[in-house]
Amino acid sequence: MREKYLTDGYLLPGRKAFDDAKFGRLKGIFEEHLAQAQAGGARGDSGELDMPHTRDPRLLEFLLADELLDAVEPLIGPDIGLFASAFLSKEPFTGRATPWHEDSYFWDGRFDRMDRIVTVWLALDKVDRDNGCMRVLPGSHLAEVGEYEFADPDEFSFDRVVSGGVDESKAVDFELAEGEYSLHDARIIHGATANRSPRRRAGYTIRYFSQELRFDPSHPRNEGHLLWHARGTNVAGNPVEN
């Protein structure tokens, strides 16, 4: 499993993260956050649902759970920190595309390196090609960071895309049943098509890092950013919450 992850940059375990009762509690919390954001006029695929665990400590039950940490540990080691999380919801017919990108491009400088950061993508709804599931380019995490250009914010869920074309014939679709999850390297190129189906496409992205990586508190984008100690030892002495 670890060798496949190191080579391809992703894993599709094909199983659910939590039992039905625990997943039901998580999805209920998500529905609360989504309803509150929409009541304020926000889109579910905007940044309004970013970092919900910093406002709602109920989510730490899931983010620091053994079910997820046991999946992450073989990939980044036993010393695990929680970096970030975000709810994502692409509504029926109107959910915007996510352009081809690599997360590490947007996190440049926040850690001293990017090679041991993994994202868990937990499906809160069934996700497939029809409603715009995530797609990745296997092995692209091993290439140098690509060039970026501005994009039309009305078309995409954020404003920068990998410049030039990518070979979409090599893309792997992350089709997941409700409650299942995927894992991918922070450096892999990934994206998603728009949701033109009558079904919502909701997920929870959870970012973990090896605590051997050094977080830079002086970086402008790190100001006020909270990290959590999830498991093992805080090797680099990062400013983590316990």
- Per-residue pLDDT, 160: 55
Question: What is the structure's pLDDT at 148?
Answer: 57
pLDDT for residue 4: 95
Cα separation, 209 vs 175, whole angstroms: 25
- Please state, in angstroms and as integers, the Cα–Cα distance from residue 60 to each residue in 52, 84, 86, 216, following that order: 10, 11, 13, 23
What are the start-end ranges of the H helices in the chain? 2-8, 20-39, 60-63, 66-76, 103-106
At residue 229, the pLDDT reads 98
Q: What is residue 206's three-state secondary structure? A: strand
Question: What per-residue confidence (pLDDT) applies to 242?
Answer: 84
The model's pTM? 0.93
Tokens found for residue 15 = 């199983």
Predicted pLDDT of residue 166 = 75
Strand 10-11 vs strand 181-185: parallel, antiparallel, or unpaired? antiparallel
For 131, other C-beta atoms within 10 Å of its C-beta total 25
For the domain spanning 2-241, the CATH number is 2.60.120.620
Among the listed residues 14, 1, 23, 213, the one whose alpha carbon sits nearest the alpha carbon of residue 116: 213
pLDDT at 105: 82
- Distances in Å between the Cα of 122 and the Cα atoms of 87, 174, 217 are 10, 11, 28
> Which portions of the chain are predicted below pLDDT 50?
none
pLDDT score of 162: 62
pLDDT computed for residue 161 by the predictor: 59
pLDDT of residue 117: 98
Strands (E), 52-142: 80-90, 98-101, 117-123, 134-136
